């Protein structure tokens, strides 16, 4: 069952590349997390490059100044091990996990032993400052930076033939500068992330407010339309029929005229009602638009590829069924955009003889559906309530006498299926 619904993700159906959404504000959108990540990656690349340049220069200096030294095999082995350990760092991520902390401890230990054997490698500590500041909590990182700085000072004084105040003051100055720059950048990054979160929240609130205002305005317009057309027509019909009833015995001709006039007014009221219903239909289906074409034109945002696939022979559907299926697809794609983290979504419209089925599948993170007491999975038509999207979709399906099924596994995407029984078009 699930395989048939998800197949739309792999089929070569019409691929829709959605346009960029228009922001609520006319200004350009604020820089997002991607910009911060780009800056972090650039700084990390510069730091890694500097580390290997310093390590190579220190190795060359040691070999040139100490040819035939008995420490050479140990220095070369430790230098190679330090390089290999450093290469493993990016694969462990920047989060302070236990593996990352153990890795940092091994790197620092190898570096300390190497500096004790060959003080020439002391300045390799500068890139390690950045690694420590990224991995450890602020206080622990500052303590480690201070210890490494003291080791650098001791190593430089050991290499110098005489006491040099620069060797005593320069390493702490460099360490303090590197730490201050990093801490400042981290604070700016946190402030930027907070600002971006506030802007996104404000934009969503503004969009929600505009939707509510639009809904209220539309309700007011409809109430005025109904009052000025249908209500007036019904009132006129009531008065004419009452007049016909009063004169039916005494003046049959006048009574019949009243009935004919009421019939004409009823016809005009029916036309007005049909016009209102037509105006309320989705604009994608206005003017006799096909449901398949409307579904094919849907998108889920600029970062999600939407594919559409049609199965079976299309059969005529009532207007309310077509409108409901289109709204269900729009609501499901909104959920995909907001909650799934998917890169691809597939819409499959299947005509199966006695029913039409709309499947919406995505390759997002999915979730674990709750189970009923006794370990049973939820029945057909029952779905976990997340936000307002799924309850609204379920309500539309139930109004049409259909069933709603939701299949999802954490890490394997989600498939939502709405089955609507086919009815003759009236």
pLDDT computed for residue 323 by the predictor: 82
- Weakest mean pLDDT among 83-92, 384-393, 409-418: 384-393
Among residues 400, 390, 401, the alpha carbon closest in space to that of 324 is found at 400
**What is the distance between the alpha carbons of residues 327 and 322, in angstroms, rounded to a whole number?**
9
pLDDT computed for residue 6 by the predictor: 46
Does residue 46 or residue 284 have the better pLDDT?
Answer: 46
The three-state secondary structure class of 389 is helix
Task: Give mean pLDDT, residues 216-234.
Answer: 76
Q: Is the pLDDT of residue 417 over 90?
A: yes
**Strand order from edge to edge, sheet including 305-311:** 14-16, 305-311, 344-351, 355-362, 414-421, 403-408
- 415 in Cβ contact with 360 (< 8 Å): yes
**What is the distance between the alpha carbons of residues 140 and 96, in angstroms, rounded to a whole number?**
12
Task: Give mean pLDDT, residues 166-185.
Answer: 78
pLDDT in tens, 362-412: 988 887 654 444 433 343 333 444 445 788 888 889 888 899 999 988 878
Task: Give mean pLDDT, residues 143-156.
Answer: 84
Q: How is residue 230 annotated by DSSP? A: I
Among residues 332, 347, 338, 350, the alpha carbon closest in space to that of 406 is found at 332
- Element (H or E) spanning 308, and its range? strand 305-311
pLDDT computed for residue 410 by the predictor: 81
**What is the distance between the alpha carbons of residues 338 and 408, in angstroms, rounded to a whole number?**
16
pLDDT computed for residue 334 by the predictor: 83
**What is the distance between the alpha carbons of residues 403 and 415, in angstroms, rounded to a whole number?**
14
What value, to the nearest 5°, has the Cα angle with vertex 339 and ends 337 and 345? 45
Query: What's the 3-state SS for 298-351?
Result: CCCCCCCEEEEEEECCCCCCCHHHHHHHHHHHHHHHHHHHHHHCCCEEEEEEEE
- Band (pLDDT 50/70/90 cuts) for residue 166 is confident
Q: Residue 71: how many CA atoms within 13 Å on its side-chain side? A: 16
Per-residue CA distances from 321 to 62, 102, 127 (Å): 80, 60, 64
pLDDT in tens, 113-126: 888 888 888 877 77
Task: Give mean pLDDT, residues 208-213.
Answer: 86
What percentage of the chain has pLDDT greater than the value 70?
A: 79
Task: Give mean pLDDT, residues 73-90.
Answer: 84
pLDDT in tens, 18-44: 433 333 333 444 444 444 456 567 777
- 408 in Cβ contact with 367 (< 8 Å): yes
The pTM for the full model equals 0.40
pLDDT in tens, 286-320: 555 588 888 888 877 777 888 999 998 888 888 78
Q: Is the pLDDT of residue 155 over 50?
A: yes
Q: How crowded is residue 275: how many other Cβ atoms within 10 Å of its Cβ?
A: 12
Query: What's the 3-state SS for 119-174?
Result: HHHHHHHHHHHHHHHHHCCHHHHHHHHHHHHHHHHHHHHHHCCCCCHHHHHHHHHH
**What is the distance between the alpha carbons of residues 174 and 183, in angstroms, rounded to a whole number?**
14
pLDDT computed for residue 15 by the predictor: 41
pLDDT in tens, 228-263: 677 777 888 888 899 899 999 899 899 899 899 889
């Amino acid at each position: 069952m699930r395989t048939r619904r998800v197949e739309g993700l792999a089929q070569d159906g019409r691929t829709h590349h959605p346009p960029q959404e228009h922001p609520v504000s006319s200004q350009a959108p604020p820089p997002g997390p991607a910009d911060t990540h780009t800056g972090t990656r650039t700084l990390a690349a510069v730091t890694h490059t500097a580390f290997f340049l310093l390590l190579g220069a220190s190795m060359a200096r040691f070999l040139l100044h100490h040819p035939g030294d008995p420490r050479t095999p140990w220095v070369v082995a430790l230098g190679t091990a330090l390089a290999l350990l450093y290469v493993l760092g990016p694969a462990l991520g920047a989060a302070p996990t236990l593996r990352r902390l153990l890795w940092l401890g091994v790197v620092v230990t190898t570096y300390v032993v190497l500096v004790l054997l060959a003080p020439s490698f002391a300045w390799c500590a500068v890139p390690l400052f950045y690694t420590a500041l990224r991995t450890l909590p602020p206080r622990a990182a500052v303590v480690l930076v201070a210890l490494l700085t003291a080791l650098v000072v001791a190593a430089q004084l050991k290499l110098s033939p005489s006491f040099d105040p620069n060797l005593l003051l320069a390493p702490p100055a460099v360490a303090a500068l590197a730490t201050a720059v990093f801490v400042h950048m981290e604070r700016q990054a946190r402030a930027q992330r907070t600002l971006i979160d506030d802007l996104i929240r404000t934009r969503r609130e503004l969009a929600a407010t505009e939707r509510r205002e639009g809904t209220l305005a539309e309700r007011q317009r409809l109430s005025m339309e109904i009052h000025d057309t249908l209500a007036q027509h019904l009132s006129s019909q009531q008065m004419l029929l009452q007049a016909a009833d009063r004169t039916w015995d005494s003046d049959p001709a006048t009574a019949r005229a009243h009935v004919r006039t009421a019939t004409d007014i009823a016809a005009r009221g029916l036309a007005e009602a049909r016009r209102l219903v037509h105006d309320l239909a989705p604009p994608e289906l206005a003017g006799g638009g096909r449901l398949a074409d409307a579904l094919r034109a849907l998108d889920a945002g600029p970062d999600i590829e939407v594919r559409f696939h049609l199965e079976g022979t299309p059969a005529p559907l009532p207007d309310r069924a077509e409108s409901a299926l289109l709204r269900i697809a729009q609501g499901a794609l909104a959920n995909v955009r907001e909650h799934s983290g998917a890169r691809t979504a597939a819409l499959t419209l299947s005509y199966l003889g006695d029913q039409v089925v709309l499947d919406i599948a995505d390759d997002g993170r999915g979730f674990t559906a709750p189970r009923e007491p006794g370990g049973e999975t939820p029945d057909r038509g029952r779905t976990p309530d997340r936000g307002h999207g799924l309850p609204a979709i379920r309500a539309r399906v139930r109004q049409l006498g259909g069933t709603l099924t939701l299949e999802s596994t954490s890490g394997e995407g989600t498939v939502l299926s709405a089955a609507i029984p086919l009815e003759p078009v009236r």
